[in-house]
Structure 1
Amino acid sequence: MFITRTITAVAVTVLVALVAPGVASAAPAGGPEVARPQGVSTDGRALQPGGAPAAPRTGLAAADPGPRLTRAEMLTRARTWADNPVPYSREVFKNGYRTDCSGYVSMAWHTDRNYWTGDLDTIGVSIGYDDLRPGDMLLYHNPENPVNGSHVVLFDHWTGAVGGDFLMYEQTKPSTKHRTWSQAGYSRSKYKPFRYVGVIEDAPAGGSTGGQSVVHDGYTSEFTVNAADGHLQETFLARLGGAWGTQDLSASAGTPAVAGQPVAVVHDGYVSVFTVNAGNGHLQETFLARLGGAWVTQDLGALAGAQAPSVMVHDGYVSVFTVTPGGQLQETYLARLGAAWATQSLPASGVSANSAAVLHDGYVSVFTVGTGGQLRETFLARLGGAWTTQDLGAAAAVQAPAAVVHDGYVSVFTVTSAGQAQETYLARLGTAWGTQPLPATGVTAAPAAAGHDGYVSVFTVGTGGQLRETYLPRMGAAWVTQDLGAGTPSAAGRPAAVVHDGYVSVFTVGATGGHVSETYLPRIGAAWASHDLTSTAGTPAARP
């Protein structure tokens, strides 16, 4: 069960990109004047398969409308009707869902019964227009003609600046559409935005951290650097069970040859990949504004050195952390979509490896290793405050850190000069940091970490190139290490990990030949398996 939380709506200004109250607009096919009858009983209950009305719900049952799902899953479900448009009907059902507007939203949200515009708000939380995110709904329930004169649509993503025009999914006459709000000609004053109570944010609420692998729009994307020419490469899975594909982003988007490794993050409907230009040392962004659009590359200007960047989204900002050739930690940030990028130095110098960043308890924390091996935290307690750096006192580290937030803890994983993996952790804000060794030795590269299914997993590569997982099954239990074997070729360099579609996927680069492999766990209790993406998808040999 989960409890609905109230989100205060924010005031917004009607923008000219949307249809303002009192402004006449043309009525396109399936537009504002089209009647969209919904399957509803005479006493206002949504019809279910077979024509029976929904039974009343009270108490906790009313607050538990079905399985929770991510925004990516919502859009993936919405696309199943949009890709092969389904005719509009109040009487016809498809896979248990009415093929009218409210049945479509019920289907996309995977609710356990059909809703209608008269009760969809009971499983939504009111939000502001500028707060709309993929999978949220815009609901118009017309009290004067509720059954035939109401409508509901699903928000996809902004086509430009936040608050302007946007793409949406809707079930309307004659069939499912994926179009912009402006094309539909709807009145913004009538539609109220809501967020599904069962949404699982694709990233932790309030912020997200990036990595070489990200999940977006139902896709899983892994970014690597071609060992032969330094080109930025994307290897992607469009849907679970589909075939992996690959593309050269340097060729298609003009990304200059890359130094170090890429890092990617999803924000504001965009996928952004940050790299360091091998020619001039500048930080650069290669981004996809929307699925199906073209990738674009821009030079962000900041001198970033050879260390791979780290990135996170917090408080509406996108922050990219880099290390200058002189070892100075800096932040290059975007305050909001459409604003200019800016760069500032942070109070951490002598940094010897790339950083890891997390958001926790309202803090932004960036973890680095100094030239003497000391693990340090540079943190921002609140937006507008001053950045502060402290030494966390852990044993000298020689590899870049990895960090994860779990069970109220902040855990930072490093490797000592002797190849011992260790965890430096903060049990709660205001307490002292502690450090403990983990049962993984002979570690040769920086670790990767992920939280999944109540587990915390740390992935490392041993002296023989074997991929290993050191995991904590639950708080208070003992850490355990296992060799993932699974046919994974001997690996070199740092692994990358991502959680998607219930799977845990770990990507490695082969020590011989540079082949990119995925080692994956389909579910807890199943066996790990591996396949070679260079062989199956054509991913070029990658730089470790």
Structure 2
Amino acid sequence: MRLDQRAARLLLSVVIAAGVLGGGVATAAPAADPTGGEGLRAAVAGYQAAPGTPTTTVTSTEVSGATVTAEVATPPVTRSEIITRARTWTTAGVPYSQSDYYGGYRTDCSGFVSMAWKLSESLTTRNLDQVAHRIDKDDLKAGDILLSYDNHVVIFEKWADTARTEYYEFEQTPPRAVYRKIPYPYYSGTYLPYRYDNVIEDDGEVTALPGLSTISRSAGDLDVFAATSDGHLKHRNMNDGVWGCWATLPYNAKIKGDPAAIFSAGRIDVFAQGVDNRLKKITWTSAYGWYQWADMGDYVVTSSPAVTSRSATGIDVFAKNAANKIVYRHYDTVQGWTTSWSNIGLNASTVTASGAPAAVANADGSRMNVFARATDGSLLSLMWTRDAGWYSWADRGGDFIGRPAASTRGGDSVDIFVRDHDNSFVHRYSPNGADWTTYPASDFGGYILTSPTAVSMTGQRIDVFTRNSGADLIRKTWTGTNGWYEWAGHGAVGAPAC
């Protein structure tokens, strides 16, 4: 199901829970509470501030009428770190409580914000404004909050629409911490935008781990490639269900993002974006093994590449350029580059991509499908056929993060896999690469940390790899006989090492 369906069910459960519990913060209509909508402010047990950490004098009036003043550590924190910290509670499903604690912080709405901002106390909705300042609606960025004084508070992540009538937020509310899309500023009540005083500006995007690529050389055989945070490439092979060790490939170049691997008879080519934003390629042959990395020209690419093939020696290479256009170039394993980089799609001048592409060709080379993420997070698709050439880019909807993955089970069929905006795993299918409405998207939920990569070793099997919240490699398999299996864990990337 899509996010709006999940949100509707969650909203219903929240309203029911609020009614059963007879208190707390009800999503539909939060009511003020004598304690400020949550428990009392409390110091975080075991909190250790780094030398030089700034503090703020915070004053509050307790239920008894007493005035309490204390110095609260207010360390600098980046926007992306705020979002990362908030996500730890939504991923763990931390239950809501005005008296319980998780990781030292009270597990209500303001304790949640205090945790995300790394404060030394669990503050309340009555005093969070003393470590933050008012901002305008149009200034909201990831890690800011919407505060209803003496009532409730949520963490803003991003706008859900260009009209800015809805947004994605993190929130601690009965029955547990959630991430969802809600109307601005909230379902009801007066909510004002605030910004933490010591926030460090960055883009607020949580940087995913370097990505993955997978190929199949034959039935029963899988190869997985993983970029590392220090700019190198690792490789692991599975043959007939037996996994080998992780090998680190030659060190003569540094890469970033997601590698893009492709297999032809007796040969593997892996393309990647270099740290210098130039394309790199490393090749394996059955006769020689792994070669050194090769520079593939001075053209600047601003994304990881995608590759597919329509012939025995041809490789079609795609990437995003500095103008945020998806560009294409053809490489031949015998001749080298045979074309120059060029924009693709009849409407290329009006289409802007915000992420790396994915590409897949059918078996006879008569058709290619290319995909990318639009600036609003929706899926863009483009078709090429031998008879007609490039068609126009089409918007297929959705809202996902990073790059899509594309594979085919045979014929003109296409399977698309994405990391959805809430980090769940989503699958879409088209029988011909053009019809994306007959078969609804399948949302498998969960939390994945990198964009997926997928391959079909036969027409009756798909293997999808990604990383979970612990950064371990995980795999989900589909077979024509049994459908989708549960996720299988394959441990940390790099372990065991060769």
* TM-score, length of structure 1 as denominator length: 0.43
TM-score, normalising length: structure 2: 0.47
